[in-house]
Amino acid sequence: MARVVVLGAGVSGHTAALYLKKRLGKAHEVVVVSPNSKYNWIPSNIWVGVGKMTTDDVVFPLAPIYKKKGIEFVQAKAFALWPEGDAESDQPAVEVEHTSQERMGQTEKLRYDYVINATGPKLNFAATPGLGPDDGHTVSVCTPSHATEAKTKLDDVIAAAKTGKEQKVVIGVGHGTCTCEGAAFEYTFNVEHELRAAGVRDKIELTYLTNENELGDFGVGGMQFEQNGFRTTSQLWTESLYRERGVKAVTGAAVTKIEPGKIFYDQLDGSHNEMDFDFAMLLPPFKGTDWAAYNKAGEDITSTIFAPSGFLKVDADYTPKKYEEWSAKDWPRTYQNPTYKNVFAVGIAFAPPHQISKPRATPDGVAVAPSPPRTGMPSGTMGKVVAFSIADMILKGAEKPTHAASMSEMAAACVASAGTGFKTGTAAAMTMSPVVPDWEKYPETGRNLKETFGEIGLAGHWVKRLLHTLFIYKAKVKPGWTWIPE
C-alpha cells in the first residue's frame, strides 16, 4: 500500500487529493495536511471585503468531505521535510505541528511514499514595515477574517463620507515584488461600485497603487487582444475602465513603509513619495512556507530542495539569465523535484523560474518586479496532472511523471469583478493563452490571439458568480464534480 501525503488543502492541494483518491481507490492511502479546518474559495473573499458575501459563503469544513471520500485529514502545519528518511526509518517523512484544539502544538513525522507540497503562499506582511492588519495600518482581503475586517473599515469610511468629510481610499499592493495585482484591481472596482451605491462617490478619492509598470500588466506583461477589427492592449483597455470610473492610479511603485494614514513609496524614476489615506487595502508579497529540509544524517539540505523564497524547486530551468534570455521552455511541466523524484510542488508552492513581467528597479536598487501570478485555473490543473502522474507511478509502475501542464502552454481565465448585482454587476473577463508568453510559437504577441480576449460587462459578473457556485460545488465533491474543469 502506497501513502501519498498532500500538504495544503487549497485550490491545488484539494484538487490533487480528490483526483488521487479517485484514481487510487481504497488500496492506497491519501493524507491531507492543512492547518485550517476549512476550505476557503479565495477569489470570493473580494465580495466578503465589500459585504456582498459573508465568511460562511466562502468556506466549508474539510473533515466531512475527506471522511466521505476515505481521505485522512490531519489538521497541522508542515515545517520540515526528511526526503531520505531519518535515523529511525528509511521511509521519507514530513514533520508537522498540529493546530487542532485537541492536539495543538504537538509535532509528529508523517511517513510518505510520495509528497505534494501545495502549501500556497505565506502572506509576507513583514516585508514592508507597517503593512497588514495584524501589526500594521492597512487591511487585506487575503483571508475571510481579513476581508471581514476590511468591510468594517470600509463602512467607517462610508459613514465619514456621509457626514460630508472627504476621504482617501488607496487599494493596491504593499511591496515592489507583490503578485496577484488582479485581486487588487478587482477590489478597487468593487469598492468603487459600493461607494456609488452608498451615494458617497463624490466625497472619495480612489487610487490604485501598483508595482505594475503600466496598468493592465497583471504580472504577466500585459496582453494584446483583437477587438472590433483592431488589435488593442490590456493597458488601453484597463485605462479606459479607470477613466470611466474616475479611479486614479500610480504605477511602477514599491511601497517601502506605512505609518498611520500615510504610505511611503518609491517609483522607477527615483522619486520618494508619500500618499495619505483613510482606508488602504494593500496586498502583501508572497513567500513560501518557512521550510527546513534534512538528509538522513540530519544535515540541513533546505537549499537543495527549496529556493531562497521558500518555494519548492521543480523541473524548471533555474539557471540565472537576463530577462531577455528567458524562454517559455524554462517553465516546469511535471512539477517533480529534480533531486527527490517522489517530491512534487503545485500551485503557488512551486518556485517559478523567472518573472513573466519585466523586473525593474529604482535607481536606489528597490525592486519593482511583479512576481508571476499562479491563479486558480493553473493551480487546479497542476494539482490534477500531478495526481494523475503519481497514480500512474503507483498503479502502473511508471518511472517518470506521465502527465504534464506547463504555464507556457496552458491558458488562464481571469474574471475580475468590478461590482456585484444580477442586473447591475460588471466584470472584466479575460483569458490568456498561454499564461507565460511563448515568443517562438507566437512571435507577434507571445500568445494565441484566438484564445486571448478581454470583455467587460454584465456577462462577466454572471460568469464570476457562476464560478463561485460551481467551484464550491466541485470542492464539496458533489455528483458530477469531475465534469467541472479546473
Identify whether the C-beta of residue 460 lies closer than 8 Å to the C-beta of residue 429.
yes
d(CA 301, CA 83): 10
> Of the two residues 140 and 431, which places its CB atom closer to other proteins in the complex?
431
List the x/- string, 185-204, binding to ligand FAD by CB under 6 A. Answer: --------------------
Site residues for other proteins, window 209-238 (CB under 8 A)?
A: 214-215, 236
Place of cell 494584446: 224
Place of cell 470570493: 44
Write down the least CB distance from residue 312 to ligand FAD, Å: 11
d(CA 129, CA 219): 23
Does residue 348 bind other proteins (CB under 8 A)?
A: no
CA distance readout (Å), 216 to 184, 190, 237, 249, 473: 12, 17, 8, 11, 31
> Of the two residues 318 and 462, which places its CB atom closer to other proteins in the complex?
462
> Of the two residues 145 and 271, which places its CB atom closer to other proteins in the complex?
271
Does residue 120 bind ligand FAD (CB under 6 A)?
A: yes
Stretch that binds ligand FAD, among 160-168, 253-261, 307-315, 369-377 (CB under 6 A): 369-377
d(CA 17, CA 346): 12
Q: What is the CA radius of gyration of the chain?
A: 22
Does residue 386 bind ligand FAD (CB under 6 A)?
A: no
- The count of C-alpha atoms lying within 13 angstroms of the C-alpha of 167, restricted to the half-sphere facing its C-beta, is 25
d(CA 347, CA 295): 25
Site residues for other proteins, window 77-116 (CB under 8 A)?
A: none
Write down the least CB distance from residue 103 to other proteins, Å: 37
d(CA 398, CA 107): 34
With CB under 5 to 8 Å by kind, the binding choice for 292 among other proteins, ligand FAD, none is none
Site residues for other proteins, window 358-377 (CB under 8 A)?
A: 377
Does residue 11 bind ligand FAD (CB under 6 A)?
A: yes
Handedness of CA 61, 81, 134, 187 (dihedral sign): negative
Identify whether the C-beta of residue 109 lies closer than 8 Å to the C-beta of residue 298.
no
> Of the two residues 100 and 402, which places its CB atom closer to other proteins in the complex?
402
Length of the chain measured in residues:
486
Helix then strand then coil, % of the chain, to nearest 5: 30, 25, 45
- Taking the alpha carbons at both ends of the chain, their separation in whole angstroms is 29
Does residue 453 bind other proteins (CB under 8 A)?
A: yes
> Of the two residues 14 and 403, which places its CB atom closer to other proteins in the complex?
403
- The count of C-alpha atoms lying within 13 angstroms of the C-alpha of 58, restricted to the half-sphere facing its C-beta, is 26
Write down the least CB distance from residue 284 to ligand FAD, Å: 9
Which parts of this chain interact with other proteins (CB under 8 A)? 214-215, 236, 239-240, 242-244, 247-253, 267-269, 377-378, 381, 384-385, 403-405, 409-411, 413, 415, 423, 426, 429, 431, 433, 451, 453, 455-460, 462-463, 466, 485-486
Which parts of this chain interact with ligand FAD (CB under 6 A)? 7-13, 33-36, 42-43, 45-46, 77-78, 118-120, 141-142, 180, 183, 289, 347-349, 374-377, 379, 414
